[in-house]
Structure 1
Amino acid sequence: MKLTFSHLIFAVAISIYGTIVAAQPAGTPMQVMVATPEQLAVTQSASKTVGVSQVKGQSAEMLYGDSSRPGLYTVLLRLAPHKRIMPLSHPDSRFVTVLSGTFYIGFGDTYEESKLKALSAGGIYTEPAHVNHFGETRGEPALVAITGYGPSGTLYAKPSDSKNAHK
């Protein structure tokens, strides 16, 4: 295979940036980004990211926009193995894509393991506004991309679950 100048530039760009995640503020022109799930650095605690569950062992990176403000946003969410998200909802409708690992998702006001559906990389689901959903990871971490139109937020079906989320 012949290496063209454009391939060389792309390879240099990838090697310079290594892992790729740079938040792009809403209202600015979207920049070109090409990355595999392995190249996405998701290392910040999710505790300050609006619109995601606050489970200990979860990290998040805002990829585009700001979920706390009106407008389009995408956030990358990484969950460590053996993490459970209790039933919760969001004020905005969202579209979720599993990028790596397996994420188990279910819908309802109470956590019911029998309602969980396993979604591996490439799996998708929606989170309609104000619809309670829950999920978990099992023996492996999962990386998901969540896209919505903010402002977002998180409301647990059972308020005490929000206090226990970091345990």
Structure 2
Amino acid sequence: MKTTFRNLVMAAAVLMQTGMAHAEGGAMGVFVATPEQLSVSESASKTVGVSQVNGQSAQVLYGDPTKAGLYTVLLRLDAHKRIMPLSHPDSRFVTVLSGTFYIGFGDKYDQTGLRGLPPGGIYTEPAHVNHFGETRDEPVLVAITGYGPSGTTYANPAEAPKPGK
């Protein structure tokens, strides 16, 4: 099951790069790609449902996270980034494609509660459940799949990233 899900996410990424998939959830072809073949360089500032910390880039692979329906977003985080506790209105699955991502759950950032997930690791983000995370000495690439509409709410609004920061 884990391999099938990972292959579906990678397939969606390649289709988007070749223009074969439709952002609104149109027909999707079959293909296979490795994480090294995926390129994510667009700013995440306009992508709904991600943390918006500086050093993030994102690409919507399928669907539209602002609308009702299935979506997948490929998210790249630079090394040494911290995501403070936040939640989303929709439930999501996250698959680590490259690097090690450290994830924890709760209303306050607690480094002792972080669990490192290597490539192939999967975790869920249940709707309205606060979670937090960080990258360490390497960038991380994850695929987020949910059923929108999505959004992001910080547990402590003062910890939300400021535009351009």
What's the TM-score bracket when you normalise by the shorter of the two chains?
0.7 to 0.9
TM alignment of 1:89-104, pairs within 5 A: 89-104=87-102
Maintained 8 Å contact 1:55/1:166: no
Return the offset for 1:161.
1.3
TM-score, L = length of structure 1: 0.85
**Alignment match of 1:75 (pick from 65, 73, 76):** 73
Tell me how far 1:57 sits from its aligned partner: 0.5
Residues 161 and 50 of structure 1: CA distance in aligned 2, closer, same or farther (over 3 Å): same
3-state SS of the aligned residue for 1:54?
coil
Indicate the larger mover: 34-43 or 78-87.
Answer: 34-43
Quick one: distance in 2 between partners of 1:73 and 1:42? 16
- So what's the TM-score if we normalise by structure 2? 0.86
Q: Which runs of 5+ in 1 are unaligned?
A: 1-16
Residues 123 and 166 of structure 1: CA distance in aligned 2, closer, same or farther (over 3 Å) = farther
Tell me the residue number matched to 2:126.
128
SS at match of 1:61: strand
The structure with the largest alpha-carbon Rg is 1
CA offset digits 1:60-101 (Å, max 9, x no partner): 000000000000000000000000000000000000000000
- Structure 1 segments of 4+ aligned residues over 3 angstroms from their partners: 19-23, 163-167
Alignment partner of 1:117 out of 109, 115, 118: 115
3-state SS in 2 of match to 1:73: strand
SS in 2 for 1:145: strand
**What runs of 5+ residues in structure 2 fail to find an aligned partner?**
1-13
State the shift of 1:54 in Å. Answer: 0.4
Instruction: Give the aligned partner of residue 148 of structure 2.
Output: 150
1:12 match: none
Corresponding residue for residue 46 of structure 2: 48
For the residues of structure 1 that align with 2:164 and 2:116, how far apart are their CA atoms? 24
**How has the CA–CA distance of structure 1 residues 163 and 99 changed in structure 2, closer, same or farther, with 3 Å as cutoff?**
closer
**Which residue does 1:14 correspond to in 2?**
none
Aligned length: 150
* Partner Cα distance (1:152, 1:87) in 2: 16
Q: What letter matches 2:88 in structure 1?
A: H
Preserved contact between residue 53 and residue 161 of structure 2 (Cα < 8 Å)? no
Deviations 1:89-139 (A, max 9, x none): 000000000000000000000000000000000000000000000000000
Q: Kindly provide the amino acid, as one letter, of the partner of residue 114 in structure 1.
A: T
1:30 alignment counterpart: 28
CA RMSD of aligned residues (A): 1.8
